[in-house]
Chain A
Amino acid sequence: MTARALINVPAKARRGEIIEIKTLIAHPMETGFRVGLNGALIARDIITTFRCTYNGEEIFRADFSPAIAANPFLTFFTVATVTGTIELQWEGDNGLSATESAPITVE
C-alpha cells in the first residue's frame, strides 16, 4: 500500500545553512476509536513512523500516534552539509510504506 506524498526540500543551499524540510502525505489517520455506521469500531489505520535520511544517515525520526491529524504534515530542519539526496520514508499500519527523495546541491 502506498500513499501520495508531497515534499518540499530546497534544491540549492549554502554549506552549513539550516534548511527547512516540509512534508505532507495523503493518509486518513483513522484513530481506531471511532464508531462506524454499523455500530462497530473502525479499525486503526495510521502512519506510525517517519524517517528522514541525508545521504543514508538518519537525521530525523518521528513516532506518530492516532492523535496526529489526517494527512500528516510535518516540518523540521537540518543543516545542509554535502551535495546528495534527502530521503523521506513513512511506515504505517496495514503494511503502508512510502518513500520520497529529493536531490540537494550544496555550494
Chain B
Amino acid sequence: MTDDRAKKSATRRDFLAGTARLAAGITLVSVAATKSSRATPATMQAAIRKVVGAAPVRKGKIMIDVPPLVENGNTVPVTITVDSPMTATEYVKSIHLFNEKNPQPNVIGVHLGPRAGKAALSTRIKLADAQKIVAVAQLNDGSFWSDDADVIVTIAACVEDLQ
C-alpha cells in the first residue's frame, strides 16, 4: 500500500517535473524565435558598420523626412535629402537607410554620383513596429554622415500573418 502510494506520487512528481521542463523548453524556443525574427538596435549598428567600416559617422548634412506618426506600417513615405553641391569634386556616393525592428536591418541602399544633380530620393517603406530609422550618406571624400528619425507605427507590417 505504502509502496503503491510512493509509486503513484513519484509518477505525479515525474509528470509535474516533465511538464515544467516542457514549458521551460517552449519558452526558450519561443524566446529564441522572437530574437531571430527581429532586428535589434545592435543588429542595426552591425549593419551600419558593415557599410561604413571603421570610419566615424557624424551627424548632419543628411535629413530624413518621415511622418512621426503613421497609421499603416505597410507604406511609410520617406524622403532623404543630403546637403551637397553634387559637383564633380564634391558629391554623395551612396545613401543607406536602416531600421531597428524589422526582421532585417537594411531598408534601401542607393548609389549615385555627380550626375544626380541633387542628392535626394523618395520611396515608401515597411515598418514592423514603432522604431527609429537611421540614414547614412557617404560622400566622395570618404566621410559618413547620418540622421535618425523616430516613427510611431499603429499597424505593423512585414511580420503579420494571413491567418
Contact = CB atoms under 8 A, between A and B. Distances in A.
Interface of A: 18-19, 29, 31, 33-37, 39, 42, 54, 57, 59-70, 72-79, 81
A34 B162 contact: yes
B75 interface: yes
Interface SS of A by simple majority = strand
A98 to B, nearest CB: 17
Contacts of A72: 123-124
B102 interface: yes
B123 A59 contact: no
Given A37-B163, A54-B115, A68-B126, A31 B109 contact: no
B12 interface: no
B124 A68 contact: yes
A73 B108 contact: no
Interface in B43-95: 74-76
